[in-house]
Amino acid sequence: MRRVRWLSAAAVVLVLGYVAADVADVAPGLLTLDPATTGPAPTRPAPSDPAREPLPPAMPALATDAPAPTPEGVSRVLDPLLSVDQLGPQTSATVIDAATGDVLLDQFGTSLRVPASTAKLLTGAATLSTVGGATTLATRAVQGGSADEVVLVGGGDVMLGTGASKLDQVHGHAGLRTLAAQVAKALSAAGRSQVAVRFDDSAFAGPTVSPGWSATDLQIGFVGHITALGLDDDLAAVNHPGPADPSLAAGQAFAQALRRQGITVVGNVVRTRASADAKVLGEVRSAPVADVLGVALTTSNNTIAEVLARLTAKAMQRPATFEDSALAVMDQVQRLGVDVGGSHLTDGSGLAAGSAVTSQVLTDLLVLASGGSTPALRPLLAGLPVSGFTGTLAERFDRPLTQDAAGTVRAKTGTLTGVNSLAGTTVDADGRLLVFAVMSDRVPVGGTTLARRASDRVAAALTACGCR
């Protein structure tokens, strides 16, 4: 009986893992009609692994005098592709000429749709324009209430390495071994070799888990607990769930790093609140926020996106909670000059239920980022996955009807059960930069893979045509 129960539990875990992989663009949907790909599954790096080095995408040069597409030409090419059953009924789509701002296609462009991970575009824009892309996040060690107490204070870096700082990388850019060496030197200068270690993650407030997430989201690793302090190795990934308390795990890793520096650590590592004027014993800083955002966009990392949303709320003098972070993001997008209308978010990543955004909002934001009036937003485009090369588009645009667009389409993907979205830029056959968004939130059951391919065909067709 015990063996049967164990096998049943294992089967449940495997099924849940496959469902998560479906939504995370790792595997075909459970009920997809497409035949499964044969052969061994490709090895996918965890978020803490170094990024793969792709071949440079062949990005066409923009023609300054490129002929402009016409709405009639775009509609003639895209209308049949947007009406396919794989995308479900009433797919929203908007296409804009980036140079002129002219709307070339508006199919239910002002209708609210579930954005899924394209919500990260809004979070990214808000973060870049408030926190700043060049900003780095400090993780400090300060003296506690007594001389024999050291407090690790988190500033929002959840990509801390356990070793030496890796200044040429985003993951592990700030390392606890480097921080511990600084602290050990300061303690030695003060004649101390024994301390108690505490940690302070009070930079963020409220629950660490959104009420709009399911328990499975955490169990499978779709997202982790959102705290102001965390290890890169603990970032949640599919089939690699994060710890229940990332801040505690970081504090314990810091204590171990101190021990390796010859410092005796006594007692348990516990949460506390450091004094605002506490003496700083050491500090390490993250990679620039623009680079951190690039990881969130390219790999569609929900945890990092939620952290960036909280940093945005703090920059706007709001509480760093789920509710206030989502409100802060939308407020800032509105301040940038984008008419958000009835669009709203319930979290910063697009994972929680209840968010609704229009394709027009996404394209208006991308047009703003592609122009010269708001240079702070340029990293938003640089962080987008590249078709056939990087991130969530690395293994897409590889079929006969889409492969010619590989390396040209740069777009944020969005996938949830019944939801498929794609928003980004491309360069058409005449060298014209176009911005587009395709949003479907009534995808047929089990049709995740087919819907993705259908939206890829829309982007590829837009790339191939002069559409005049």
Report the alpha-carbon distance of residue 118 to residue 456 in Å, rounded.
15
Please spell the DSSP secondary structure of 301-361, one letter per residue: -HHHHHHHHHHHHHHTTS--SHHHHHHHHHHHHHHTT---TT-B-SSSSS-STT-BB-HHH
- State yes or no: pLDDT of 60 exceeds 90: no
pLDDT confidence of residue 262:
98
Of 62 and 187, more confident: 187
- List the structure tokens of 252: 């314990």
Which residue out of 92, 129, 165, 300 is catalytically annotated? Answer: 300
- Report yes or no: 261 and 175 within 8 Å, Cβ to Cβ: no
Is the sign of the CA dihedral 383, 388, 390, 391 positive or negative?
positive
The gap between the terminal CA atoms of the chain, to the nearest Å, is 69
- List the structure tokens of 132: 């700043």
- DSSP percent split of the chain into helix, strand, coil, nearest 5: 35, 15, 45
Which residue out of 120, 349, 355, 421 is catalytically annotated? Answer: 120
pLDDT confidence of residue 63:
64
- pLDDT-based confidence at 90, cuts 50/70/90? confident
- State yes or no: pLDDT of 78 exceeds 60: yes
Find the mean pLDDT for residues 327-335. 98
217-252: per-residue pLDDT in tens?
999 999 999 999 999 999 999 999 999 999 999 999
Which residue out of 92, 117, 210, 359 is catalytically annotated? Answer: 117
- State yes or no: pLDDT of 41 exceeds 70: no
Half-sphere exposure of 281 (CA within 13 A, CB side): 29
User: 33-47, 53-67, 300-314, 434-448 — which is least confidently predicted?
Assistant: 33-47
Place of tokens 């056959």: 429
The helix/strand/coil state of 433 is: strand
Quote the strand ranges of 19-91, DSSP E. none
Size of the chain in residues? 468
Q: Across the strands, what pairs with 142? A: 151, 280
Of 52 and 455, more confident: 455
Q: Does the pTM exceed 0.85? A: yes
120 in catalytic set: yes
